[in-house]
Structure 1
Amino acid sequence: MREQLQQDFLTHYGKEHQHTYFSPGRVNLIGEHIDYNGGLVMPCAVTMGTYLLVAPNNDGVFRFKSVNFKETAEVAVGSSNVKKEQFWFNYPIGVIEHFNKDGKELQGLDMLYFGNIPIASGLSSSASIEVVTAYALNDLFNGGYTKLELVKLAKWVENVFIGLQSGIMDQFSVAFGEKDKALMLNCDTLDYQAVDSNLGDYLLAIINTNKPRKLAESKYNERVQECNAALAALKQELDINYLCDINTETFNKHKHLITDKVVLDRATHVVEENDRVKLAAKALNDNVLAEFGRLMYASHHSLSTLYEVSGKELDTVVNFCKPNADVIGARMTGAGFGGCAIALVKKDAFDKFSAEVTEYYTKEVGYAPSVYSSLIGDGVGLLPELAHA
């Protein structure tokens, strides 16, 4: 693939590239819908991601081309970068805008992007593009940003330049990811712990339901409001700022304060899920994958029945996995109402798993999922160049 990208760059720009950068996508292994409740998430970088090939030019412009999209763009160095509709290149243009805003000196570049992350699957293709661009510019032009500052810069692009209100987990995990490690991250303080996550004979299967996530945003806001209602009720007796400031034991002693059953269900998921993240970290550290898998199933059950953000498509995938001897854990990942599920599947059984889950899902849902395999990979970086023949 790298050789093909080198050839693509040569074809597009009529010269050879000089550097190749890579930023992964990410999945959240466990800890869903608790980031805005002061809790812990456990994302990891995957081995799919975004490649960026670059070479300088003397024309004083940034040129953007992608193997994945037909739209291209050209932006003058130092200009105020106005967005042009909702095209993919707005993400890197937003990064350049932030560099300009901070007074960083940049020079012309020819840039070619290629991503093998499924678009709109919830695996953070946008964060991957933002972070790989920010990392490359920082490296090429001695920008002086720390990796954490690049993460915050990329989040600014998403929130302010693009206008999508999302948290920092995506940018953080694609920047700080480490091979065979999950990141137990507090999204509020950005304190994190790298957790050993050697999957051994298993790999991460990513099953894209291929259902558009139209409900996710409105239901997301609804869940935030319900959690705020639960917090207000608990504050009658507890001095807390977030639901995740207490554990399940403390919650059970005070949950009588929450009189609305739906609100109680939401809060129960949040508090118990936060505890599950801590138990999952211990299971991974102790290399007890079966226990980690059990916690994945418990997480999904809670998201489906208490938090009600799953749906037929995601439940169908997990229901297929439960009795399968080649799978030790599965759950939805991301906001829900579509998007992806993940499963821990034996490496030597992946092809069989992929065929069987596709057949089962298609029969139950009416259209096919997309199934991918991944390991836990490294975060953003400069790739060594291939030797030329």
Structure 2
Amino acid sequence: MSKALLKEVKNNFLETFNAAPLLIFSPGRINIIGEHTDYNDGFVFPAAVDKGIAAAIQKSDTGTSTAIALDLESTINFELNKIKPSKEGCWENYVFGVFAEIQNRNKVIGDFNIIFRGNIPGGAGMSSSAALENSVVFGLNELFNLGLTKDEMILISQKAEHNYVGVNCGIMDQYASMFGIKDHALHLDCRTLESSSYKLDFKEHQLMLINTNVKHSLSDSAYNDRRSACESISKLLGVEALRDATEPDLEQIIDKVTPTNYQKALFVIQENARTIKAAKAIENNDLELLGSLIYQSHAGLSDQYKVSCKELDFLVAQAKKNKHVLGARMMGGGFGGCTINLIAKTAAKAFAETASKAYKNKFDKDCSVYFIELSQGTHLVE
């Protein structure tokens, strides 16, 4: 959590509104393994990180509300009784969506002002959107004593994304951002919303992110397409979600689905199994197995689920050439963003340099390297 970020947001609020705000920090997240399994009621393995959204919020007595995104130098004034979705892609939909979903639960909110800034790299697949939604719902809950539980808050954040942003996301991002535990990853069952926390101490190894700094425009529509393909196959199989299906089940309907959709469903079933194996590997301190599962995850995301891109595949190929990298894969929805790498601490700096150089030569653009720490979930900052 960046103290400088919080200080900047707080000072900005004091200058703009001449009132002392509540301060909230809401983290982004990484995901060790378990990609595109969350909306199939499966297992995921995320952790909150020390990059996130700092928000300052307080009641307004002017009869209107104001939201300011410092990163974008953008200000929106609005009346609560006239809120409706802005055009697609507008940041205020995250704020409006949360407010609308709270209203749907018959909770009473008065006018408010909010200012926020983030230090999650844009398009990195680290869920800046969930961090923003969580900071808004958490802030409003504190401000107006709404009595919402954290479980209710993450469902509000998720629904905001579905209904106002138009991304039919699963629950992992909101959960990891809200419930994160410092130095731990959460092995989450996305059906029951129950998780087990695992202290991550990889001894001589560490996690490192490399951001492709690309975000291909397919991402949102392709995400929704993948989700509807999974749902239609679940229906064919007569199960609630692909989490309930096995590979032999899938073989029974091979002639009823397209080969590409068959591979997508197969990926989800296999990825869910990998996520469960990864938890056991961490329990047993078997980093070789964990690394192998991470590489398998990328192969499936690229070849079966088809959500990778040439830049991500290139960085994973670079990792495979280096014996100090135990595993690497794309992380997040896909079509850009980061790779996550499990690497020996002593080799991390050298690998970051060689991979960055090779990437620059190949694509004539820079990638960015991040070393992250695992952080506490969304919370009030005193």
Give the TM-score taking structure 1 as reference length: 0.85
8 Å CA contact retained: 2:9, 2:56: no
Paired position in structure 1 for 2:201: 198
Partner of 2:307: 309
3-state DSSP of counterpart to 2:97: helix
CA RMSD, Structure 1 to Structure 2 (Å): 2.8
Partner of 2:363: 365
Does 2:254 match 1:255? no
Tell me the distance in 2 between the aligned counterparts of 1:20 and 1:254.
49
- Pick closer, same or farther for the CA change 1:13–1:190 going to 2, 3 Å: same
Cα pair 2:13 2:56 within 8 Å, conserved: no
Q: Is structure 2 residue 175 aligned with structure 1 residue 179?
A: no
Residue aligning to 1:82? 84
**Percent identity (aligned):** 34
Q: What letter corresponds to residue 297 of structure 1 in structure 2? A: Y
Whichever residue aligns with residue 340 of structure 2, its letter is I
| 1:387 corresponding residue in structure 2 | none
Distance change in 2, residues 1:155/1:226 (3 Å): closer
Mapped partners of 1:231, 1:110: distance in 2: 43
Q: Distance in 2 between matches of 1:18 and 1:155?
A: 25
| Distance in 2, Cα, partners of 1:221 & 1:124 | 16
**What secondary structure is seen at the aligned counterpart in 2 of 1:159?**
helix
1:230: Cα distance to partner?
5.6
**Unmatched 5+ stretches in structure 2:** none
CA contact (8 A) 1:39 1:274 kept: yes
Aligned partner of 2:117 among 111, 114, 119: 114
CA contact (8 A) 2:168 2:224 kept: no
CA shift, 1:226, in A, is 5.2
- Residues 47 and 376, structure 1, Cα contact 8 Å, conserved in 2: yes
- CA 1:267–1:91 in 2, change beyond 3 Å: closer, same or farther? closer
In the alignment, the residues of structure 1 paired with residue 94 and residue 250 of structure 2 have an alpha-carbon distance, to the nearest angstrom, of 45
Offset, 1:342: 0.9
- One-letter amino acid of the structure 1 residue matched with residue 134 of structure 2: V
1:21 to 1:200, Cα distance in 2 relative to 1, 3 A: farther
Q: Distance in 2 between matches of 1:271 and 1:173?
A: 22
Match of 1:62 among 58, 62, 65: 65
> Per the alignment, do residues 75 and 315 of structure 1 end up closer, same or farther by CA in structure 2, a change over 3 Å counting?
same
Equivalent residue number for residue 376 of structure 1: 374
8 Å CA contact 2:58, 2:113 repeated in 1:
yes
Q: How many Å apart are 1:143 and its aligned residue?
A: 0.7
1:207 aligns with 2:205: no
Task: Tell me, in whole angstroms, the C-alpha distance in 1 between the residues paired with 2:264 and 2:97.
Answer: 36
CA contact (8 A) 1:20 1:382 kept: yes
Mapped to 2, the partners of 1:285 and 1:83 lie a distance apart of 45
Give the equivalent residue in structure 2 for 1:331.
329
SS of 1:113's partner is strand
1:7 deviates by 4.8
Aligned-partner residue type, residue 122 of structure 2: I
**Per-residue deviation at 1:263?**
4.5
Q: How far did 1:24 drift?
A: 0.8
CA–CA distance in 2 between the matches of 1:74 and 1:22? 23
2:315/2:355 contact within 8 Å kept: yes
**Kept after mapping to 1: 8 A contact 2:162/2:168:** yes
Aligned runs of 1:125-136 on 2, under 5 Å? 125-136=128-139
Q: Partner amino acid for 1:71?
A: S
SS of residue paired to 2:336: coil
Determine whether 1:162 maps to 2:171.
no
Matched, 1:30 2:33: yes
Amino acid aligned to 2:137: A
Q: Secondary structure at the match of 2:160?
A: helix
Following TM superposition, where does structure 1 have runs of at least 4 consecutive aligned residues deviating by more than 6 angstroms? none
Shift, 1:219, TM fit: 4.0
- Measured after TM superposition, the shift of residue 308 of structure 1 is 2.8
Q: 1:151 is matched with which residue: 144, 149, 154?
A: 154
Q: Report the Cα distance in structure 1 between the residues aligned to 2:267 and 2:21, rounded to whole angstroms.
A: 49
Kindly tell me the number of residue pairs found equivalent between the two proteins: 376
Residue equivalent to 1:340 = 338
Once residues 69 and 202 of structure 2 are traced to their aligned partners in structure 1, the CA distance between those partners, rounded to angstroms, is 33
- Equivalences for 1:245-324 in 2 at 5 Å? 245-247=244-246, 251-252=247-248, 255=251, 258-259=254-255, 261-324=259-322
Identify if the C-alpha distance between structure 1 residues 261 and 198 changes in structure 2 by more than 3 Å, giving closer, same or farther.
same
- The 2-side partners of 1:242 and 1:93 are apart by 30
- Is contact 1:10-1:17 (8 Å) kept? no
Aligned AA for 1:321?
Answer: A
Distance 1:102 1:256 in 2: 42
| 1:275-301 Cα distance to aligned partner (Å, 9 max, x none) | 111110111122322321121011112
1:102 CA drift (Å): 3.7
For structure 1, the residue ranges without an aligned partner over 5 or more in a row are 385-389
Whole-angstrom CA distance in 1 between matches of 2:144 and 2:228: 44
Q: Secondary structure at the match of 2:213?
A: coil
Rate the CA distance shift 1:180–1:291 in 2: closer, same or farther, 3 A.
Answer: farther
